């Protein structure tokens, strides 16, 4: 039916099969443009916002608040105001009669792959195709799932890779524990996949890794997006680093993970369980201790890259949450005059998850504005 667009339950994470509609953010009849936040939904790991996939009017809110909807299921209908109500009704009726959860191949999404880099197995996930490439780099203790709400959106017209650093996720656990080592892994990853040049988007420790590579090999970095990035000042929340390494029980881990978000209620039981499962893998404890000792010795940042970044010609965008409890929001201004800094109100360290829509738009506008 021409002019009618499905607003569906997105797939956030490789294992997500359903989500709960927490609340609608707009009323029926609201005019929407692509990327507008329409609803809030809860996945197995964290709440996220459902964005409008196209311009139009929210003609129908089909799902009820509190209802559990399978991935790909119908939340609402977006259409031009001129589309008759009868066509909207027919679209909904036909969709509900033919939709089978889990059968839509497009809802499954890509699966993680591995590539050998310097003798180590590196797990990665790729979304999209295009001449332009972006690589997403997670923080200490994270993995490629930290980009649940960003990767697919940013992959419109470009190839976007998210990878697990050594010591994290599904990658080899052996590490030396330095920024230079991790930057070398990213460079080797690019070599292995034939990527000559890429936009690097780094969160926290991943930001410092991205910056290190940009300083060492600027010809390979089209731009830098530093999200709540390490490397812009010496201060860091030592209690978080030590607490993450030490936590072995649900209660301990939950209190540590809650430091990452302005809204601690975003930390779900599943997220806590997944992090604990990762921490129990062979080699993880030693890897985290090496990284903490090499990059954050004594609860301080060993590598402050601000002065060198100021002299770099690589385009830079800085994004931060003003409620960040891990790295001081004041660090966002360290590159003042050299790079624009966007500090988002009421957001914490995981700003790319808490304010995914806004962060995605900032990144798109920044990359799109480069010559």
> Cβ-count burial of 195 within 10 angstroms (0-12 exposed, 13-18 middle, 19+ buried)?
middle
pLDDT per residue over 181-191, tens digit each? 999 999 999 99
Q: What is the mean pLDDT of the chain?
A: 93
Share of the chain above pLDDT 70, in %: 96
Q: Confidence class of residue 1 from pLDDT cuts 50, 70 and 90?
A: very low
Secondary structure element (H or E) that encloses residue 257, with its range: helix 250-257
Query: For residues 142 and 164, is the Cβ–Cβ distance under 8 A?
Result: no
113 or 53, higher pLDDT: 113
Hey, what CATH topology would domain 4-105 get? OB fold (Dihydrolipoamide Acetyltransferase, E2P) (2.40.50)
According to DSSP, residue 355 is labeled T
Look at residue 53 and tell me whether its pLDDT is greater than 90.
no
Better pLDDT: 102 or 24: 24
Residues 6+ apart with CB under 8 A from 84: none
Question: Comparing C-alpha atoms, which of 211, 182, 235, 219 is closest to residue 308?
Answer: 211
Q: For residue range 200-226, list pLDDT tens digits in order.
A: 999 999 999 999 999 999 999 999 999
Supply the DSSP string of 150-215, one letter for each residue: THHHHTSSEEEEEEPPTTSTTS-------HHHHHHHHHHHHHHTT---EEEEEETHHHHHHHHHHH
Domain with CATH 3.40.50.1820 in the chain: 113-368
Give the residue, 54 or 342, on which the prediction is more confident: 342
Give the three-state DSSP class for 140. coil
- The answer on pLDDT for 71 being more than 50 is yes
Q: Average pLDDT in the 247-256 region?
A: 96
Q: Which class in CATH covers the domain with range 113-368?
A: alpha beta
What's the rounded Cα separation, in Å, for the pair 310 and 97? 58
d(CA 64, CA 145): 28
Enumerate residues 6+ apart whose C-beta is below 8 A from 363.
Answer: 150, 154, 201, 225, 317, 319
pLDDT for 17 equals 84
Residue 338's pLDDT band (cuts 50, 70, 90): very high
Q: Which residues belong to CATH 2.40.50.100 in the chain?
A: 4-105
pLDDT of residue 14: 66
Q: What is the pLDDT of residue 2?
A: 62
> Encoding tokens for residue 129?
């195709």
- Whether the pLDDT of residue 343 is over 80: the answer is yes
Between 106 and 264, name the one with better pLDDT. 264
Would you give the DSSP letter of residue 350? T
Provide the 3-class DSSP secondary structure of residue 146.
helix
């Amino acid at each position: 039916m021409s002019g009618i667009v499905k607003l569906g339950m997105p797939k956030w994470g490789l294992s997500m099969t359903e989500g709960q509609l927490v609340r609608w953010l707009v009323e029926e009849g609201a005019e929407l443009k692509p990327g507008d936040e329409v609803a809030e939904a809860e996945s197995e790991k964290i709440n996220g916002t459902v964005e409008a996939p196209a311009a139009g009017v929210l003609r129908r809110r089909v799902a009820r608040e509190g209802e559990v909807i399978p991935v790909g299921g119908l939340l609402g209908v977006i259409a031009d105001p001129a589309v008759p109500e009868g066509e909207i009704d027919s679209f909904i009726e036909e969709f509900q009669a033919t939709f089978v959860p889990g059968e839509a191949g497009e809802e499954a999404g890509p699966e993680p792959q591995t590539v050998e880099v310097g003798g180590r197995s590196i797990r990665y996930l790729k979304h999209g195709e295009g001449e332009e490439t972006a690589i997403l780099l997670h923080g200490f203790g994270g993995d490629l799932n930290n980009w649940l709400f960003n990767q697919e959106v940013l992959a419109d017209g470009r190839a976007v890779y998210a990878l697990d650093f050594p010591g994290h996720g599904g990658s080899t656990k052996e590490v030396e524990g330095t920024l230079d080592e991790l930057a070398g892994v990213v460079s080797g990853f690019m070599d292995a996949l034939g990527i000559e040049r890429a936009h690097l988007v780094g969160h926290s420790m991943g930001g410092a890794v991205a910056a290190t590579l940009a300083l060492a090999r600027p010809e390979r970095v089209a731009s830098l997006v530093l999200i709540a990035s390490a490397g812009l000042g010496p201060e860091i929340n030592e209690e978080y680093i030590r607490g993450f390494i030490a936590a072995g029980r649900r209660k301990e881990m939950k209190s540590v993970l809650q430091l990452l978000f302005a809204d601690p209620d975003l930390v779900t039981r599943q997220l806590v369980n997944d992090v604990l499962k990762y921490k129990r893998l062979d080699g993880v404890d030693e890897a985290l201790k090496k990284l903490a000792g090499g990059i954050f010795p004594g609860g301080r940042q060993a590598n402050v890259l601000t002065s060198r970044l100021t002299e770099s010609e690589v385009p830079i965008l800085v994004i931060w949450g003003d409620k960040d409890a891990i790295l001081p929001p004041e660090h966002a201004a360290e590159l003042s005059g050299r790079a624009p800094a966007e500090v988002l109100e009421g957001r914490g360290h995981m700003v790319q998850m808490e304010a995914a829509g806004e962060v995605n738009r900032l990144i798109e506008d920044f990359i799109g504005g480069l010559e």
